[in-house]
Structure 1
């Protein structure tokens, strides 16, 4: 996808403006600044709809850490015309499903229904996002639910270690280092008034993209959305918000080793460094490099640590990208007594790839994995709906499938090896969750 981070807010249209982006994909900008993008897939009998808000946990103050996630829970608890039961029952009565999730940079509310029931999905989701009443009793109920969710997450060391690593890289009090869920210390005192102010200040039409994919007609979807939002706080005048600014890099912390003691049967390790930002043109090369290192059963790390030595059941590498930052890391879960050996093997493999590069055969396999994963991931309406939204919200542009595959094909051996030499020699931080005390692992460097 082509980065367009310099694109500023467009001039506010006096009327809705519609254009065709690709075959079957159309985009309409409403006078409010809200964007509607659809992809027509006539061969399906389903439709997926998403309301995407360009607000996530990194947009919160430290005191309001977790507000975006708290709000995500509350918007399904009732509106001026629907109770929480009504919201779920109306969708389930037609065999559909609805849910939501929060990330560091955006929040999504989505539904998947039969094509004939798309009007219902539009009405229910738009009502929930625009007209939530945030009843004080519901705030208290969901506060308890979220605190249980936080406690449950703390009981999953394989998940917790990634949060520990993120805090080690960015710092626990920073925009990217804070937990998406917030903590008990921030969720417990958060008031209904604080959440409502966050809701009304952040959930503005220019920040919202509504996408749909399936057996649908774009014009009909636009009319349904306009009718559902008429007279709501989202029925205002504005211009689409620019993509999140990535021109100033988010600071990373000096390399650190962080050990979180847990009486577990397995040790969980994440070793990694600062990675590429979302608009870095080398992200395609990083995707190929990731596949070679730890992207599947044929990857170097999987073969070396699991297949040859049987030291870990799960071992993989991954990259996370944000507007102004990124991480590249390796995860492994193993017996506590094998942790030091596994860590040594990971470091050795990273050093070998940095020094010697990957082979032409590995390059071809890594590119094939990247292309196959992307195309096979677009086999359902939900993933296509997500593709539309992420292209608009995160990049401000939409790359066709053929264009994306061509970008992967264009990655050269020299590009991958140059990136490996730079990326894999960066200072590494280590996060460990397991039955260890501080000082059990040497300091990061």
Structure 2
């Protein structure tokens, strides 16, 4: 999906790139990027703000106090069209990932696409789970989600099943996409998705690491942190038509790609 975009590159690099990195290059990069002005420190839990500041001051005395210049401009993802990659593996199950391009972090589609992937395959009451797992009994696991980056995003539909069910599962996924485009999202499933997504967000506040990461990401990416109530209000504002636009915009079957791992008939899938 992201072939040709920096996000498609391996995070750890390759054997050749790692062999050719010199110590001086690492130190130069550290000096350039890791100044006090470019670091966000986030903390949550049983700690007082003043105590945290005092501890930080004691441990950053050796770092340079320079302003960090963020020169990241992003890059538009390439239009790669539909791609199919099948990896033969002697596993007892088949893992499939079907998806395409999504929205970036600051897009107005941020909350609508999260609600759509929730009602489509993000909860036990979602369309894919009810159809493929509960009614048909074809998959051990089936879900949809989306990932948002600074300059682009991806949509994901994942399933794990026995090899004999893979073709049928992929057909049902496509059928559900066609069906929701034809009959559109209804008010009942939209409200159910809203309550599910809001519930997950509220519950995540109880986990200190989730709270810490939310605060840090907000400051790092958006220069501000939305309160939980602000996020819930944004979710409540999403309308049926917003989700219908999402499925038309991001779930085009002729642009969605497939990656599968397992014992498969390469000529049949997709």
Q: Same fold (TM over 0.5)?
A: yes
Matched, 1:218 2:45: no
Distance of 1:375 and 1:324 partners within structure 2? 27
Report the more deviating stretch, 179-188 or 296-305.
Answer: 179-188
Written as runs of structure 1 = structure 2, the 5 A alignment for 1:35-434 is 169-171=1-3, 174-187=5-18, 190-230=21-61, 232=62, 234-238=63-67, 241-242=69-70, 244-246=72-74, 248-425=75-252, 427-434=255-262
Report if the CA contact (8 A) 2:35-2:64 is conserved: no
- Call closer, same or farther: CA 1:243–1:319 in 2, change over 3 Å: farther
Q: What is the CA-CA distance between 1:258 and the residue it aligns to? A: 1.1
- Helix, strand or coil for the counterpart of 2:165? helix
- Helix, strand or coil for the counterpart of 2:41? strand
Report if the CA contact (8 A) 2:170-2:269 is conserved: no
Distance of 2:184 and 2:8 partners within structure 1? 31
Q: What is the CA-CA distance between 1:199 and the residue it aligns to? A: 3.1
Q: What is the CA-CA distance between 1:208 and the residue it aligns to? A: 1.2
Kindly provide the CA deviation profile for residues 31-69 of structure 1, in whole angstroms up to 9, marking residues without a partner as x.
xxxxxxxxxxxxxxxxxxxxxxxxxxxxxxxxxxxxxxx
More strand by share: 1
- Helix, strand or coil for the counterpart of 1:213? coil
- Call closer, same or farther: CA 1:221–1:190 in 2, change over 3 Å: same
Q: What is the CA-CA distance between 1:281 and the residue it aligns to? A: 1.1
- Call closer, same or farther: CA 1:440–1:321 in 2, change over 3 Å: same
- Helix, strand or coil for the counterpart of 1:344? helix
Number of corresponding residues:
269
Report the more deviating stretch, 375-384 or 319-328.
Answer: 375-384
Q: What is the CA-CA distance between 1:297 and the residue it aligns to? A: 1.1
Q: What is the CA-CA distance between 1:249 and the residue it aligns to? A: 2.1
Distance of 1:319 and 1:243 partners within structure 2? 26
Report if the CA contact (8 A) 2:99-2:154 is conserved: yes
Distance of 1:436 and 1:219 partners within structure 2? 59
- Helix, strand or coil for the counterpart of 1:273? strand
Distance of 1:411 and 1:243 partners within structure 2? 33
Distance of 2:136 and 2:217 partners within structure 1? 40
- Helix, strand or coil for the counterpart of 2:12? coil
More helix by share: 2
Report the TM-score when normalising by structure 2.
0.91
Kindly provide the CA deviation profile for residues 306-335 of structure 1, in whole angstroms up to 9, marking residues without a partner as x.
111111000000101111111112001111
Q: What is the CA-CA distance between 1:216 and the residue it aligns to? A: 2.5
Report if the CA contact (8 A) 2:98-2:256 is conserved: yes
- Helix, strand or coil for the counterpart of 1:170? coil
Q: What is the CA-CA distance between 1:196 and the residue it aligns to? A: 3.5
Q: Which residue of 1 aligns with 2:269?
A: 441
Report the TM-score when normalising by structure 1.
0.57
Distance of 1:441 and 1:183 partners within structure 2? 30
- Call closer, same or farther: CA 1:435–1:201 in 2, change over 3 Å: farther
Stretches of structure 1 that go unaligned for 5 or more consecutive residues are: 1-168
- Call closer, same or farther: CA 1:408–1:223 in 2, change over 3 Å: same
- Call closer, same or farther: CA 1:384–1:375 in 2, change over 3 Å: same
- Call closer, same or farther: CA 1:201–1:262 in 2, change over 3 Å: farther
